[in-house]
Structure 1
Amino acid sequence: MRAPGQRCDQRPEGHARDEGVPVRRLTRDEEVTDVECYDCARQGRTASAVAVCMRCGAGVCVDHAHETPVEVRRAANPGQSEMPDPARHITCPVCYHAEGLDHGR
């Protein structure tokens, strides 16, 4: 929580970023070109993320992404309430397991 009069970009004393982690803001001319897979990074590997977990927002690579078809429904209106084609539900391994989509695997 901010102290009275503290700007949004000011960190409180002893903040984790003060522990030697360099922080640099991008300029308007720079762009972020690659997001890495969170699970690969935790395993000490580097892989480009190809999707973002819809549940937790972690970047996931092809190996860690779980794609599950999900039925899309509209609000109760006269006529068709279920859409004919399923949507994609992309999650990381942790959220896939937490949602029970792995069926105990």
Structure 2
Amino acid sequence: MHCYDCLELGRTTVASGGCVVCGAALCREHTTEETKQIQQIQGMGQQVHPTRARRLLCGRCSKAEHDRSLT
């Protein structure tokens, strides 16, 4: 599988991951790595896991998730 963003630029690069939002295959150069706090309901409250989960996103989905402006 090849990186979707590289293909748009006319390059062929082997993908090493995929965007968790849109599913596009990504090379390391086009991958945005973020973390997410995992919470779990337990008993009468929530438990926060000490280790944050890794999330791989493409640039477009990362920007869309963090852009607070409305069009």
What TM-score do the two structures reach when normalised by structure 2? 0.86
Q: Distance in 2 between matches of 1:75 and 1:88?
A: 20
Aligned residues: 68
- Give 1:69 deviation, angstroms: 1.1
Q: Which residue of 2 is the match for residue 46 of structure 1?
A: 12
What TM-score do the two structures reach when normalised by structure 1? 0.59
The higher relative CO (CA closer than 8 Å, separation ≥ 6) is in 2
Q: Which residue of 2 is the match for residue 77 of structure 1?
A: 43
Match of 1:67 among 25, 29, 33: 33
Alignment RMSD (CA, Å): 1.9
- Give 1:80 deviation, angstroms: 5.9
Q: Distance in 1 between matches of 2:55 and 2:12?
A: 24
Q: Distance in 1 between matches of 2:17 and 2:29?
A: 11
Would you tell me which structure has more helix in proportion to its own residues? 2
Would you tell me which structure has more strand in proportion to its own residues? 2
Q: Unpaired runs of 5+ in structure 2? A: none
